[in-house]
Homo-oligomer: A and B are copies of this chain.
Amino acid sequence: MRERVQDSGNCKVAANRRLHPDSHTCDLCEARAFNMCNALEPEELARLAAIMSHQTVEAGGTFIEEGAAADDLFNLTSGTVKVFKLLSDGRCQITGFMMAGDFLGLSRGGTYAYSATAITPVTFCRFQRPQLRGLFNELPKIERQMLGLAMNELMAAQDQMVLLGRKTARERIASFLLTLSDRAVRRGRPGNPVDLPMTRGDIADYLGLTTETVSRSFTQLKTERVIALKGNHGVEILDLDALVEIAGIDERSTAMAFDTIA
C-alpha cells in the first residue's frame, strides 16, 4: 500500500496510510465527555468497546475517501481532521475540521459522502456499521446521543452557509477564529492563544477564499492590533470585543450546544 497521490489543489488525496491498531481504555478517553459514549453506563460502554477497534493515523493520512464503500464509522479521540469534498477540476471545499468527540463516516447509497485527512496525528475508535447497527437496537441511548451530535453538526453547517454565502473575507476570518476558540474552550483547552493546526490553504478551502486572501486578512487584523500571529499555527486574540464585532453579530453560533431534538 504505497501512497498514490492524486493532485487536486490544496486537498491532495493520498491513499490510506497504514492504520495503526492501538490498545485503549475508554476510562481514560479524553473525548469521552463530548461524544456518543457520553451517556453510557460502564457496562454499556464495555459492550460498545467490544465491537470497536482503536487506531491511529499519521498526519497527512487520508482514511476516508469520498465514493469508497462506507464500511466503517469513526469516532475521533484526539487530533484534528479535515473533511472535504472535491469538484472534478480539483476545486476543494473543506466542510469541517473535526476534533476529539466528533464522528465521521456519513454515507450516501453505501459510499462515503466526503473524504477525511488527518492534519495532525489522530486517534479514533472505529466501528463496523453492521455491528454498530446491531447495538443500536439494544442501546437506543447511543442513537439518541448521535441524533444530538448530528443536530449540532447541522446547526454548525447552517452557520457555515451564512458565512460562505454572505460574509466578507474579514468577517469569515474573524468568525473562524472565534469558532475555533470556542471549540477549544468547550473541550477544556485554553481558548486564547488559538491553535491553528491547519495551513493557510486549508483555512482558505474551509472559508471559500484563497490562500492569499486569508493571509492578507490575518495581516490586516494584525496591523489593527486585533490579533497577533504566533508563528504559522497560532493566533493570539488581543481584542476579543473587536473580533466579535467584526465577525458579525451572529456569534450565538457554536456558543452553546447540545439541545436534544425534542
Contact = CB atoms under 8 A, between A and B. Distances in A.
Interface in A156-198: 157-162, 164-167
Interface in A225-262: 248-250, 252, 255-257, 259-262
Contacts of A106: 151, 154-155, 158
Contacts of A70: 259
Contacts of A249: 87-88
A93 interface: yes
A222 B85 CA distance: 30
A166 B259 contact: no
Nearest to A109: B256
Interface stretch (A13-21, A23-31, A138-146): A138-146
Contacts of A259: 70, 107-110
B154 A154 contact: yes
A47 interface: no
B158 A114 contact: yes
A127 interface: yes
A261 B129 CA distance: 8
A91 interface: yes
A11 to B, nearest CB: 11
A190 to B, nearest CB: 24
Interface of A: 67, 70, 73, 85, 87-89, 91-93, 95, 106-110, 113-114, 127, 129-130, 132-133, 136, 140, 143-144, 146-147, 150-151, 153-155, 157-162, 164-167, 205, 207-208, 248-250, 252, 255-257, 259-262
Q: Which 7 A-B pairs have the closest CB atoms?
A: A165-B208, A157-B157, A164-B164, A133-B262, A132-B262, A88-B249, A140-B140
8 contacts: A85-B162, A89-B248, A106-B151, A109-B256, A132-B262, A150-B154, A153-B154, A165-B208
